[in-house]
Amino acid sequence: MNTNDPLNKEIGGTHYQEYKMQPIELIVACKWDFIQGNIAKYLSRAKYKNGQEDIEKSIHYCEFGKTLQDEGKIIDNTAIINTFIRINGLNYEFWSRIFRLINEKYYSVLYDELVKKEAVGKYLL
């Protein structure tokens, strides 16, 4: 293990070390903006760090996205998203939908999905 590699260093816990491919790697590979990246980060770590608080943070970033939405070009990140889901053993149906909504900046729809606590709790907590 390269101790100089920032992927091997974590401050404030080990929640990202649970992943074979870390959320930061997904965010950078997908070229997601700040809002998209924060939604992905908080949803990905909810199970291993702050639970409901991280889900609420992701909902807050959906609100930012709905207010400050940039109608920029959408990049097809299907392959990298599918790799992240597969190598981390995540539920494909749930996570592919969540990441597609992040990728395509459907903040209103994502917001609605996240406030449905029964679906979110099953896969995020």
In a domain, 67, yes or no: yes
Can you read off the two tokens belonging to residue 18? 């649970």
Residue 92 covered by a domain: yes
Asked, for residue 48, whether it belongs to a domain, the answer is yes
Domain with 114, as residue range(s), is: 20-124
Q: Is residue 5 part of a domain?
A: no
CA 17 to the chain's CA centroid: 15
Question: pLDDT tens track of the chain, all 125 residues?
Answer: 566 777 777 776 667 677 888 899 999 999 999 999 999 999 988 888 888 999 999 999 999 988 887 666 677 889 999 999 999 899 999 899 999 999 888 888 888 888 876 666 777 76
27 and 19 Cβ atoms separated by less than 8 Å: no
Q: Is residue 2 part of a domain?
A: no
Does residue 88 sit within a domain?
yes
Q: How many structural domains does the chain have?
A: 1
